[in-house]
Amino acid sequence: MFRDRTEAGERLAEAVAALGLAEPVVLALPRGGVPVALPVARRLGAPLDILLVRKIGLPGNPELAAGALVEAGGGTEAVFNPEVLAWSGMTEADFAAARAAKAAEIAARRAQWRGGRPPAPLTGRTAVVVDDGVATGATLRAALRGLVRLGPAAAVLAVPVAPAPVLEALRPLVPRIVCLEMPEPFGAVGQHFADFAQVEDAEVARLLSAAAR
């Protein structure tokens, strides 16, 4: 049981620091990943940024991810799950409206959270992707697929808590994984924190601004 996201981040920071990563950049999945990622970035002496991703759900079944839109180079790139497309009989073109809507959401959150700061450059660096935990891994899987297109030399996934089978399913996308707790049965991520209050938009912006300073 973690006290809160900050304490989880402090513990996670020591485990990630032990890897001795070359030129790391810490990428948080907002919102909940940001307070976890800040202690990691401080411990590594690394920039902190966010990995903006929005899931694209199937029509009539929005929880099933057909793909995701990921921020890339100031714009966005769509990453689709070919298995879900084949099963549903849909094509990438069928999601044009959804892509436009998600792109608008990413642009709004980029402006709100980053405050005009440019994305941290990733080319040739080690991307350390941090979230407050993993449940199904659907959104994270899409984020990792999109991360490849941003050009990091390597990637590491760092989370306080996750189910072991989900982490194993993610290893083809990110072979290096740091996870502090893998309880069984797992339940929900929030069950493993004494304080799992929602992280508000203003707090995300404040933490990112503090990291930039």
CATH number at residue 26: 3.40.50.2020
Q: Is 135 in the same domain as 184?
A: yes
**pLDDT at residue 95 above 90?**
yes
Question: Which range (7-11, 44-48, 144-148, 160-164) has the least confidence?
Answer: 144-148
The residue written with tokens 């792109």 in the block is 103
Q: Is 131 in the same domain as 41?
A: yes
CA atoms within 13 A on the CB side of 135: 7
Do 90 and 66 touch, CB atoms closer than 8 A? yes
Structure tokens at 70: 């990921």
**pLDDT at residue 74 above 80?**
no
What pLDDT does 66 receive? 86
Range(s) of the domain holding residue 66: 53-114
Better-scored residue on pLDDT, 83 or 34: 34
Region 24-28: mean pLDDT is: 97
Q: Is 152 in the same domain as 200?
A: yes
Band of pLDDT at residue 73, cut at 50, 70 and 90: low
The overall pTM is greater than 0.75? yes
The total number of structural domains in the chain stands at 2
Structure tokens at 132: 């407050």
What pLDDT does 25 receive? 97
**pLDDT at residue 100 above 80?**
yes
Q: Is 208 in the same domain as 146?
A: yes
Q: Is 98 in the same domain as 153?
A: no
Q: Which residues of 78-111 are buried (b: 16+ CB within 10 A; e: fewer)?
A: bbbbeebbeebeeeeeebeebbeebbeebeebbe
